[in-house]
Amino acid sequence: MPAHDYRYQTRAWRAVRALVLERDRHTCAVQREGCTTVATTVDHIVSVSEGGDFYDPTNLRAACPHCNSSRGWRERKERNQFTYRVGVARYKTRF
């Protein structure tokens, strides 16, 4: 979900975010290459766009900003890799 989603500004989100960070002891649970291990963000295990619950603590884990943002970027790239627009011709643009 985009960071500008209104749900990230709610009291309920701030409460569940604090709960998850405390539960995971502010340690990144994703641990990708380049991880800082200090979690300051919360990551949805099953993305909301794929049916994951937004506020469910069992669908959330603590993540460092690097791991959280790189995971989202990679998943969006993979999802868009197989998206085709049927019936639209491709044109080369000349500059």
Query: φ and ψ at 44, to 5 degrees?
Result: -80, 125
Beta bridge partners, 42, equal: 62
pLDDT tens for 63-81 read 999 998 887 566 666 556 5
pLDDT tens for 27-51 read 999 999 999 999 999 999 998 888 9
Domain boundaries, given as residue ranges, for the chain: 6-81
Give the pTM: 0.71
Whole-number Å distance between alpha carbons of 64 and 67:
6
